[in-house]
A and B are shown apart, each in its own frame.
Chain A
Amino acid sequence: MIRIITFITTFLFLIFGSANADQKKVGFIYIGPPGDHGWTYMHDVGRKYMESQLGDSISTTYIENVPENADAVRAIRKLADSGHDLIFTTSFNYMDQTHEVAKDFPQIKFEHATGYIQADNVATYSARFYEGRMIEGHIAGHMTKTNTIGYIASYPIPEVVRGINAFYLAASKVNPDIKMKIIWVFTWYDPGKEADAANTLINQGADIIVQHTDTYAPCQAAQKAGVLAFGQASNQEEFCPDSHLTAIEDIWGPYYAARAKAVVDGTWSSGDTWDGMDKGMVVMSPYNTKLMPASLIQEAVNMEVAIKDGTLHPFTGPIYNQAGEIVVPEGEVAPDGMLLGMNFYVQGIDGEVPQ
């Protein structure tokens, strides 16, 4: 037994001892498989971008399909124990697990996606996807013929509710008659159920499908039924060429490269990053020229420019809640604090946010 242990320790020492001492190791925890063509896929694209930018100064690893429970602690600890210098945990519900491990490894830097609690060695980062939802809403308001939009939502967290509100505010501005039908599927990832939800919405008269779940099943269902749809997280046009209007793409690469570079240079510090289109973290997929009139594409592009230079904000007052109370006064924009904790629908959306 002792011989075996000695052998293993020597072996491990050889592996880690022989590695380039200057090379920093960067690890990722993924909620799904990198091939989901959605959320995890885009994190993996970011990881590869980081590798291409920093070359030999870093090496990267990832662990995929990590559930949001105690298993996540083990997975994060595994990366920490194996000499990683920087660890990205890429889902909201890894929050407690990230902090639990981070406390035991003060010398290792952690980055928690979409979280809101920081520590000395835990930074948080997210993207302002709602800016993209505003553009989608604007397009949907013009393109719908039945004035009914079907929205597939995952879990009632502020991120998702914010997207629904941003979408509706923009859509109802160009088309006051618009109605939103929302189905909460309580999963991020179930192609069958996502397709069921899309078909149910189409059956109820929706002619545009919007989704906040991870696979391209809803877009496929829309294609089959001959209605329009928006992709999610990555460009999904190849799966539904006759339905795909555009998609919100999550571009993590530049951020990942910058953070890893900071670790290499020794300048990393904790903080909270919430970037949008202006920093290129949120990008719209190419607008579908076969489906959208050129004038509408131009409007969408103009909105992108205005969002980037700060003259257009999706949550500009006056905004009312469902009870008719004003939540954002005329001429002001909603503060980040309100956006981060958003758990109510704006006036005009039927139903209520599930609790």
Chain B
Amino acid sequence: MNLDFIIGILEIILIATTPLVFAAIGELVTEKSGVLNLGVEGMMLVGAVSAFVTLVISGSYFLAFLISIFSGVLMSGFFAILVLYLMTNQIATGLALTIFGIGLSSMIGKKYIGTPIDGLSPWFFVIISFVIVFIISYFFYKTKSGLILRAVGESHNAAHALGYNVIKVRFIAIIFGGSMCALAGSYISICYAPMWQEGMTAERGWIALAIVVFSTWKPERVLIGAYIFGGVTILQMNLQALGIRIPGQFFNMAPYVATIIVLVFISSNKLRIKLSAPASLTIPFFKGK
């Protein structure tokens, strides 16, 4: 047990948790504006495959991430049009977006499975993930635009009455969420496990959704939630490899149990629920009402 060993563990935790931070902070911004997008997993997969395919074709990492983020903008823009203008049910549309993303990514990536690429060092993105969380935190609580976004999520009718464009704010929030999810996906296929495999995000999109709830919609708590998820996974691997007898299943379920406990805790007090979840979450906004 020396310093190098501990640093090694921390490095693995940072690398493994970064995609969760990206996806969760993106989804948090979307939800803060009052829209629940369950398409995280689908957008991550499309982001992952478009980055991978772009990299194979062009050889440029920059272009790969750019196209990937653009794919996230397209996917979430599509979602935004459906839920904001056509007033479709957010939960059903989000689930459909995930199913669509799984299929679309498999189709795009079919020819590219098993193409070897050189992975990119993850450290730049690890740092960026922290920076983005703090920027979002600053944006929410120290800027006027952040206040407007939160107001739209709390009461879209009040925000509308004050003259703010609810649809526009939500559209931007959804697109930001989509591009973050795509970034999470491209990080997975380019840095974390440099390859393309169908369904390679392996349910991380759903974990990101759980982290948003765990964080009680507060940006800096996303980091805490994500690092509990990531840390517990890596920690149990280390304990196993050290030969310490703790059932792996227990650690695999521990983060989910923690989420449920937090949920029970925040819902035990009516006031606390009101203070945490955006009050207009999943409620469609009809102009002129």
Which residues of A come within 8 Å of B, CB atoms? 32-33, 35-37, 65, 150, 181-187, 189-197, 199-201, 203-204, 215-217, 220, 224, 238-239, 350-352, 354-355
Determine whether B59 belongs to the interface, using a CB cutoff of 8 Å to chain A: no
B268 interface residue (CB < 8 Å to A): no
B contact residues, total (Cβ < 8 Å): 38
Chain B residues with a Cβ under 8 A of chain A: 5, 8-9, 12, 15-16, 19, 106, 110, 113-114, 116, 119, 188, 192-195, 197-202, 204, 233-234, 237-238, 240-243, 245, 247-249, 252
A215's closest neighbor in chain B, by CB? B197
* Contact call A65/B199, Cβ cutoff below 8 A: yes
Check A183 against B116 for contact (C-beta < 8 Å). no
Q: In the complex, which of the residues B12, B119, B198, B201 contacts A196, with contact meaning CB atoms closer than 8 Å?
A: B12
Question: Could you say which of B8, B16, B245 contacts A192, with CB atoms under 8 Å apart?
Answer: B16
Q: Across the interface, name the chain B residue whose C-beta is closest to A234.
A: B114
A216 and B195 in contact (CB under 8 A), knowing A37-B114, A191-B202, A354-B249?
yes
- Within 8 Å CB of B114, what residues of A? 35, 37, 239
- If A220-B119, A351-B243 touch, whether A192 touches B238 (CB-CB below 8 Å) is no
In the complex, the answer to whether A186 meets B5 with C-beta atoms within 8 Å is no
Q: Are B12 and A191 in contact (CB under 8 A)?
A: no
CB pairs A–B below 8 angstroms (30 shown): A33-B197, A35-B197, A36-B197, A37-B113, A65-B199, A182-B240, A182-B241, A183-B237, A184-B240, A186-B248, A191-B188, A191-B193, A192-B16, A192-B19, A192-B188, A193-B233, A194-B193, A195-B192, A196-B12, A196-B15, A196-B16, A200-B9, A200-B237, A200-B238, A200-B241, A203-B12, A215-B195, A217-B195, A220-B119, A354-B247
Q: Is the CB of A195 within 8 A of B238?
A: no
Q: Which 7 A-B pairs have the closest CB atoms?
A: A35-B113, A203-B8, A191-B193, A190-B202, A350-B243, A33-B198, A181-B241
Chain B facing A: main interface SS: helix
A203–B233 Cα gap in the complex (Å)? 15
Contacting pair B198 A65 (CB below 8 A): yes
- With A33-B106, A36-B198 known, 4 other A-B pairs at CB within 8 A are A35-B197, A183-B241, A191-B192, A203-B8
A35: which of B110, B204, B238 is its contact (CB, 8 Å)?
Answer: B110
A185 / chain B contacts, CB cutoff of 8 Å: 237, 248
Complex interface: chain A residues within 8 A of B116 (CB): 238-239
Rounded to whole Å, the gap between the CB of A196 and the closest CB of chain B is 5
Least distance between A284 CB and chain B CB atoms (Å): 20
Q: How far is the CB of B120 from chain A (nearest CB, A)?
A: 11
Q: Which residue of A lies closest to B113 (CB)?
A: A35
